[in-house]
Amino acid sequence: MKNLVLRMSTTIAVLFLISAVAMGQMRSNKFGVGLSGSYFMLQSDFSTAKPSLGGGVDLSYSVTEYFSIRTSMGVGLLEAKTLKSGTTTLASSMQTSLIFGNLYLTADLSPNGEFNPFVFVGGSGVYFDSRATVAGVSGTILRNGSVGKRMKATVVGGVGFDYFVSEFLSFTVAGEMGLPYSDLLDGYLGGSKKDSYQRISLGVKYYFFDQDFITRMLKALEERYK
């Protein structure tokens, strides 16, 4: 009889846990791992920015119900053509390869729903290698300042939202922008203002839960009905 009661209680507890979890999409101790694609919008000394794409790995951890830590690590390729008037180089286009790592503090505005808007702020470290096409020859380093491989850091912030298909799977759309990085981002030093870019990302993420809570709950039920 006791074993039957225990099994029934365990089944009810598991069903309650599943329903409770479904009501709390961003509860604490929730860890997410995913992949994302990025679209970069470049502001530089070149007048025309070409579609610039990239991708990376995203991680998140819900510290509390309304507060989480997120990180994004990835690569990208910035491209542009046609230098603005007043420049003093013959470069017809540029290509900048970059590797970035971002760390954000995030406020989850609707943690108990399947649609969770959020705002974030954090820091970014970017390693980039700028090259130009001069007289039809690509891969040229513009020498007006020894522009080439550089490492820069900045502050970033933005908004986004998570859409939860299930408790274990979500799609995320986010847009971020940062302080101007450097006048070297496009490979041309001496422009009218510093270069920067904005990034829009679309990602998918899978979530893991804190198993200690489930273990403690089942153990307590077992002890109760012994």
Phi-psi region of 41 (alpha: psi -120 to 50; beta: other; left: phi over 0): beta
Q: What is the mean pLDDT of the chain?
A: 77
pTM higher than 0.75, yes or no?
no
pLDDT value, residue 21: 44
CA atoms within 13 A on the CB side of 99: 5
CA atoms within 13 A on the CB side of 193: 11
Higher pLDDT, 4 or 108: 108
Distances (CA, A) of 186 to 50, 118, 153: 12, 31, 16
Beta strands in the chain (DSSP E): 30-43, 46-49, 52-62, 67-83, 91-108, 115-134, 137-140, 149-166, 169-178, 196-208
Sorted by where each starts, the structural domains of the chain and their CATH numbers stand as 1-29+209-226 (no CATH), 31-208 (2.40.160.20)
Mean pLDDT of 94-118: 91
The gap from C-alpha 139 to its chain's centroid, in whole angstroms, comes to 29
Neighbouring-strand partners of residue 164:
170
Query: Can you give the length of the chain in residues?
Result: 226
Q: How far apart are the first and last CA of the chain?
A: 10
Mention every residue, 6+ apart, whose C-beta is less than 8 A from residue 7.
Answer: none
Provide the token pair at 54: 């990239």
Query: Confidence band (pLDDT; 50, 70, 90) for 44?
Result: confident
Q: Helix axis angle, 2-23 relative to 211-224, nearest 10°? A: 150
Mean pLDDT of 107-113: 88
Tens-place pLDDT, residues 14-42: 444 444 444 445 566 789 999 999 999 88
